[in-house]
Structure 1
Amino acid sequence: MTKRRGERPPVPEALPAPVVDAHTHLDACGARTPEQVREVVDRAVEAGVDRVITVADDLDAARWAAEAATWDDRVFAAVALHPTRTSTFGEVEQAELARLAGQPRVVAIGETGLDYYWDYAPRSAQHEAFRWHIDLAKRVGKPLMIHDRDAHDDILAVLDAEGAPDTVVFHCFSGDLPFARACVERGFVLSFAGTTTFRNARALREAARWVPEDHVLVETDAPFLTPHPYRGRPNEPYCANYTLRDMATLRETDLGELATKITRNAERVFGLRDAAKS
């Protein structure tokens, strides 16, 4: 745990090739206006993180994310109701999310899934909402972005039972090597956050070392999960740089090559080139 908890980490030297932050929360980072969003993304670009996907966790955040994605060409959005917020989830919420999901710069349905760590929503409600989001992703033809906390087996069971969408991304992948293998066998993509850099996360690091390069993304989940050695300080999209550098070392691969491959993965998974033309 680093000192100076209230300070952002320094902006690192730019990556040799640009990369996409596949999951961040710009609003929670304090970027609420077009000017503030531009400032955060400019800082990310300085570090070689040239595009971001800002992700919603409730209905207001979903509306904001979809709007923010129109303010800056480097910003895209994902919309859903976070599993911990599904105790109340009815036709009004479903209609609004379906409307937002159809917008061209909304590139994913997420974050949705199951969270067994918190008890803010009954598991039955979470399961029902998760199934609905799976169906929405299929209807709009966009990837499903999974939130999975202490629910590995049930996440896979629901996806298997419902039939997974063509593209599934496990945001902030938190599993071990056997779980990573189970996901990759199903064709899923695993997105790694700052937790991958934590030196006590041995099982997670083993999974990150193994995952085939076609199945890898990088993210921040900012303002949370700041990577080592700045754990505990505020996170921002530029900190994907630190996570990617650690992953390249962990995987014993060239940093520029890994950045280029992950960028291609993000463009393919989220259809970023097509969305950018909208």
Structure 2
Amino acid sequence: MTRPEAPVPAALPHPVVDNHCHLDIGRGGDPWDAGEAIAAAAAVGVTRIVQIGCDLRGARWAVEAAQRHPGLVAGVALHPNEAPRIHAEGGRVALEAAWDEIEELAGAHDGVRAVGETGLDAFRTGEDGRAIQVESFRRHIDLAKRLDKTLVIHDRDTHDEVLEVLDAEGAPERWVMHCFSGDADFARACLDRGAHLSFAGTVTFKNAEPLREALRIAPRDRILVETDAPYLTPHPHRGQTNASYLVPLTMRLMAEVRGEDLGELCAAVEGSTFAAFGGVWPAAPTANKS
């Protein structure tokens, strides 16, 4: 059954970018109409979206969508749980072919700004798949550096391990901790290594005080906002389908937590996102004013 849609929030006073979205998954596993999703987001001040492809099908979709839609750029990778799955089902030949295709897609056109989401996940991948997961992470780090793309990192229950791999391989110039899930100490460790921290709807959850403390200590120029839609819908609409038009709920909470003016924080987050993902961004609709 498709989850209900949340009501449209008030528009933001300054544009921001949803820097991590899965339009190809959309509602109930079916892709959104990208044009409609982009227009709905732009109407509330979310004027650009980074579309992330996590498997070969999704990566192809992201690359094509970035070609078709102004205001949308793409990231491509094998998700940390996808690489072990491919290896388990098709062996080394299938995994090498998948990595090769991700490299081809990552260099397809200027609208592909990121290699990600990659990283580590101890929640859904067990010890039997960990070596492949780590190897895939290393391959994606190398790809991001060779192509001068932003590295987007998925980290679930693997804080220390992610930093160990990054330290061993050397982080690329631009990298993002997607859906940051650590506390203030882990935030400092990432920031010291040059990371941008991306905050999702999880920062609005009642049990997320350590995450809010990380938000408080992060410099303005390292903060990003995302949905991870259709997942992680912000409070008070948990259980409903997330989408880019709900970013204002997260941004308002972020401004409240930091004790900052909403418009000023939105402007800082937009600038931080442009810096984090590099390149010249396409023109985007003008945001409505609240």
In the superposition, the TM-score normalised over structure 1's length comes to 0.94
2:3 and 2:95 mapped to 1: Cα distance?
38
Indicate the residue corresponding to 2:120 in structure 1. Answer: 114
In the alignment, structure 1 residue 96 sits paired with structure 2 residue 93: no
1:46 and 1:142 mapped to 2: Cα distance?
29
Identical pairs, percent: 50
1:253 and 1:275 mapped to 2: Cα distance?
26
Quote the offset at 1:275 in angstroms: 4.8
Q: Report the count of equivalent residues.
A: 270
Secondary structure of the corresponding residue to residue 68 of structure 2: coil
**Paired amino acid for 1:63:** R
Quote the offset at 1:202 in angstroms: 1.2
Secondary structure of the corresponding residue to residue 271 of structure 2: helix
Q: How does 1:221-260 map to 2 (within 5 A)?
A: 221-260=228-267
Quote the offset at 1:132 in angstroms: 0.2
**Paired amino acid for 2:4:** E
**Paired amino acid for 1:41:** I
**Paired amino acid for 2:115:** I
Indicate the residue corresponding to 2:215 in structure 1. Answer: 208
Secondary structure of the corresponding residue to residue 53 of structure 1: strand
In the superposition, the TM-score normalised over structure 2's length comes to 0.90
1:80 and 1:155 mapped to 2: Cα distance?
16
1:9 and 1:206 mapped to 2: Cα distance?
27
Indicate the residue corresponding to 2:111 in structure 1. Answer: 105
Quote the offset at 1:32 in angstroms: 3.5
Secondary structure of the corresponding residue to residue 107 of structure 1: strand
Per-residue CA deviations over 1:55-109 (Å, capped at 9, x if unaligned) read 0110110011000111110111100000001122632112211111112111100
Runs of 4+ in 1 over 3 A off after TM superposition: 30-33
Per-residue CA deviations over 1:221-267 (Å, capped at 9, x if unaligned) read 00000001111110000111110010000000000000001101111
Indicate the residue corresponding to 2:39 in structure 1. Answer: 42
In the alignment, structure 1 residue 128 sits paired with structure 2 residue 172: no
Tell me, which stretches of 5 or more residues in structure 1 are unaligned? Answer: none
Q: 2:54, 2:77 within 8 Å by CA — same for their partners in 1?
A: yes
Q: Which moved more, 1:144-153 or 1:8-17?
A: 8-17
Secondary structure of the corresponding residue to residue 125 of structure 2: coil
Q: 2:117, 2:152 within 8 Å by CA — same for their partners in 1?
A: yes
2:168 and 2:162 mapped to 1: Cα distance?
10
Quote the offset at 1:211 in angstroms: 0.7
In the alignment, structure 1 residue 58 sits paired with structure 2 residue 55: yes
Tell me, which stretches of 5 or more residues in structure 2 are unaligned? Answer: 88-93, 284-290
2:81 and 2:99 mapped to 1: Cα distance?
16
Indicate the residue corresponding to 2:20 in structure 1. Answer: 23
User: Of the candidates 132, 142, 149, which is equivalent to residue 142 of structure 1?
Assistant: 149
Q: 2:274, 2:281 within 8 Å by CA — same for their partners in 1?
A: no
**Paired amino acid for 2:55:** D
What's the Cα RMSD here? 1.5
Indicate the residue corresponding to 1:162 in structure 2. Answer: 169
In the alignment, structure 1 residue 14 sits paired with structure 2 residue 14: no
1:275 and 1:241 mapped to 2: Cα distance?
21
User: Of the candidates 252, 276, 282, which is equivalent to residue 276 of structure 1?
Assistant: 282
